Structure 1
Amino acid sequence: MVATVSLDAVLHKHRIRPTIQALQSEIVQWRRQIHQKPELAFRENLTAEFIAHKLTAWGIPHQTGIAETGIVALIEGHQKGKVLGIRADMDALPIQEENEVDYRSQHPGVMHACGHDGHVAIALGTAKYLQENRDSFRGSVKIIFQPAEESPGGAKPMIQAGVLHNPDVDAIIGLHLWNNLPLGTVGVRPGALMAAVESFDLRVQGKGGHGALPHQTVDAIVVGAQIVGALQTLVSRIVNPLDAAVVTVGEFKAGHAMNVIADYADLKGTIRYFNPQLEKTIGDRLETIVSGICQSYGASYKLDHVHLYPPTINDPAMAELVRSVAEATIETPLGVMPECQTMGSEDMSFFLREVPGCYFFLGSANPYFDLAYPHHHPRFNFDETALGMGVEMFVRCVEKFLA
């Protein structure tokens, strides 16, 4: 069962102002239109057209085609002042949707399975409200609709294209609808919220041969297995126990027959950590372990190690601003959840390295309506009540930061 939009009482309880309550049905409609037409990284053309159409209709100046499909809108208050950025990601995932809803994906094999459709809808609702209430704040709000968060990452090319300048952004905020938290909660904390992510792609080259004559071979499976075991020491013996980190080998492919010793093995994996100082430490030791084991067995190797996203680290002052806004907005026994770190990663981290900012989670799970499947699941969906809450959170952050 999917929640309907008869939510006035719920929104009122959470101190959502009547003008934003009145926007709720439109925001839901926008989200569902975007959900029906999901697009992969750097191909968000229909989504960008939809956003640009709305911004034009509301008289909001904006630039399109930034980093392929990105859009930046600027809303100016009643007088000059600081500039606050708001970021929303637009891309979907290569997943076949299994939800039986009338707004399910119309694009086979592509689905909004992480809430980015909701992020766009919340940003549009915020833009519409702010444009209609420009006399309520001074300064400017720059809304950044970003492509390709899921990879390879659209934040960095947008920054390189100058989206944080003209006018210069003083601080930035963003949110993620989060089915790991119940509806009516906000996850926010200073410092590291989400982890850095690195990937590695390794080919171990041995010497194949008969399974009964191992002495004539260099067994790539044995070498690869030794590497998998040794990589566990990256966390258990190299990383400070007070620093959280993960090294996962997610793929191990080798061999073609039970009586043939494999001549090569392919391993792929991911590295996650919160402490930026681990960026060089883990990468360097990864190469040392692979090189040493391969040399000891007489194998060779090719290793591609890529730094994808740095840790998502919140500025303490901006995190406090978001926390205070959440406490004033969300009315539940749980409320603000400070212990909300995750080893998931986000390229919002690139924006937070350039200007002070805060990224936070907005709880969106509602098991009562079967809306609690995890992110990236083919039946992922969320309680759309969170959309109005997200607009209220953003608007209050604007009003408080630009006061």
Structure 2
Amino acid sequence: MTEVKQASAAVKEKLYHLIDEKTQRMIDIRRYLHQHPEVSFEEKATGAYIAKFYEGKSVAVETNYGDGYGVVVVIDSGRPGKTVALRADFDALPVQEETGLPYASQNKGAMHACGHDGHTAYMLILAEALYEMRADFDGKIKIVHQPAEETPPGGARGMIKAGVLDGVDAMLGVHAWAPIPYGTIECTKGAVMAGRSSIKMTIKGKGGHGSAPQLANDANVAASFFVAAAQTIVSRRVDPFEMATLTIGNFDGKGSFNVIKDAVYLEGDVRFMKQETCDIVEKNFKQMVKGLETMFGVEVDLFYDTDYPVLNNNDALTEFVQHSLQTSNIAELQHLDMTHTESASEDFAYFAQKVPSTFMFVGEMPDDGVFYPHHSPKFVINEKALPLTAKAVGAAALDILANK
């Protein structure tokens, strides 16, 4: 890449030192948030906790930002320069925790089963460190605490509509990732996370008695056929070299053993890494629904919506961030992977559609190598990943501001 300016080694070392000094507080914050999770669009107490953290600091703080409980904080150096936005999400999931941790969730039916408590904790401490270092950089750093990443339509779009990206030159986001070993950061150019379409459909037949199926029209049979047949869209309509998944995750056909149900409800989703693939799957899915109606004489109410686009990392910014990570002498960073992509989806994609953005993954696999997938009731993280995340994002942000 062409020669670029970066923040000095001394400035970065100052940042690392501050983060090291504050690491225990970072962990304490994460554990408090883990004990008090709130699900998407209901994070009122979490938003208030985040806003309270900034009391006594000379920063502009906006609360209830967007469609939910978002918090936006601007750290202004007082000198002209770029504006870099740093985003961390803070919603939990409707999952009953089964970790047995001493700081397990105290809110029944809610759990930080995806690590957003860690995202918020690292970002709060990083923001505090950058605030204390505001004499060491030019421009502004905008801290974006985003609610409701987990539930469509997500919190990002509302914050964008409210103006969170106004004046922003670049944006950085991170997801700590349990399947990745601690000490590894993945930072890839181009399409890095899948887009997603959500499916909800009711198949309506005619109910009746199990002893006389000829007098009924079994919606369960039609639905079962459809679930199996829909898999042929991926296997026979999508290029084998392109990524796509189609999942029917909810099949509500429960009833009495001798009753033929008149309606069955299905829910699912589609994942893809290209818009063309998204269009192919949607077209064929809808054609198959019409065919099902004809073949089985049923009626189908279908909701099909592409709610999260593909997350595309800006090539130029991501190359710059890769270089920053390679040259910033972060002791905890042992390996930088610049090729990995993920099939999960993220509403950070909406930010990336509007401004040059880079989204990274930081390994948080427990030291014993045993991990549970994200969204599992047994999900745990390696808290050593938190200061590494803060140092990586902070160093990259300082380098972006220095590269005038």
Conservation of the 8 A alpha-carbon contact between 2:175 and 2:362: yes
Letter in 2 for 1:194: M
Partner of 2:198: 199
Letter in 1 for 2:149: E
Partner of 2:288: 289
TM, length-normalised to structure 1 = 0.90
In structure 2, relative to structure 1, the CA distance for the partners of 1:336 and 1:15 (3 Å cut) is: farther
CA–CA distance in 2 between the matches of 1:332 and 1:131? 23
Partner of 1:136: 136
In structure 2, relative to structure 1, the CA distance for the partners of 1:100 and 1:250 (3 Å cut) is: closer
Alignment partner of 1:154 is 2:172: no
What are structure 2's unaligned runs of at least 5 residues? Answer: 1-12
Partner of 1:6: none
CA RMSD of aligned residues (A): 2.1
In structure 2, relative to structure 1, the CA distance for the partners of 1:256 and 1:96 (3 Å cut) is: closer
Residue by residue over 1:313-360, the C-alpha shift from the partner in whole angstroms, topping out at 9 and shown as x without a partner, is 111122222322333345579601234322211111111111110111
Spell out the pairing of 1:2-401 with structure 2 (5 A cutoff).
17-67=16-66, 68-152=68-152, 153-165=154-166, 168-254=167-253, 256-328=255-327, 329-330=329-330, 335-368=335-368, 372-401=371-400
Residue by residue over 1:173-215, the C-alpha shift from the partner in whole angstroms, topping out at 9 and shown as x without a partner, is 1101110101100011111111111111111112233444444
What are structure 1's unaligned runs of at least 5 residues? Answer: 1-13
Partner of 2:8: none
Conservation of the 8 A alpha-carbon contact between 1:148 and 1:154: yes
Conservation of the 8 A alpha-carbon contact between 1:246 and 1:271: yes
Letter in 2 for 1:160: K
In structure 2, relative to structure 1, the CA distance for the partners of 1:257 and 1:29 (3 Å cut) is: closer
The CA deviation at 1:258 is 3.8
Conservation of the 8 A alpha-carbon contact between 1:208 and 1:262: yes
The CA deviation at 1:298 is 1.5
CA–CA distance in 1 between the matches of 2:347 and 2:298? 36
The CA deviation at 1:276 is 2.0
Partner of 1:10: none
Aligned length in residues: 387
Conservation of the 8 A alpha-carbon contact between 1:55 and 1:61: no
Conservation of the 8 A alpha-carbon contact between 1:205 and 1:265: yes
Secondary structure, aligned partner of 1:23:
helix
In structure 2, relative to structure 1, the CA distance for the partners of 1:211 and 1:281 (3 Å cut) is: same
Residue by residue over 1:107-156, the C-alpha shift from the partner in whole angstroms, topping out at 9 and shown as x without a partner, is 22211111111111111112111111112211111110001111131001
CA–CA distance in 2 between the matches of 1:222 and 1:54? 55
TM, length-normalised to structure 2 = 0.90
Partner of 2:6: none
CA–CA distance in 2 between the matches of 1:104 and 1:358? 32
In structure 2, relative to structure 1, the CA distance for the partners of 1:260 and 1:34 (3 Å cut) is: closer
Conservation of the 8 A alpha-carbon contact between 1:371 and 1:380: no
Secondary structure, aligned partner of 2:224:
helix
Conservation of the 8 A alpha-carbon contact between 2:367 and 2:382: no
The CA deviation at 1:296 is 2.2
Letter in 1 for 2:147: P
Letter in 2 for 1:149: E
CA–CA distance in 2 between the matches of 1:293 and 1:18? 63
The CA deviation at 1:390 is 1.2
In structure 2, relative to structure 1, the CA distance for the partners of 1:280 and 1:19 (3 Å cut) is: same
Conservation of the 8 A alpha-carbon contact between 1:371 and 1:382: no
Conservation of the 8 A alpha-carbon contact between 1:274 and 1:311: yes
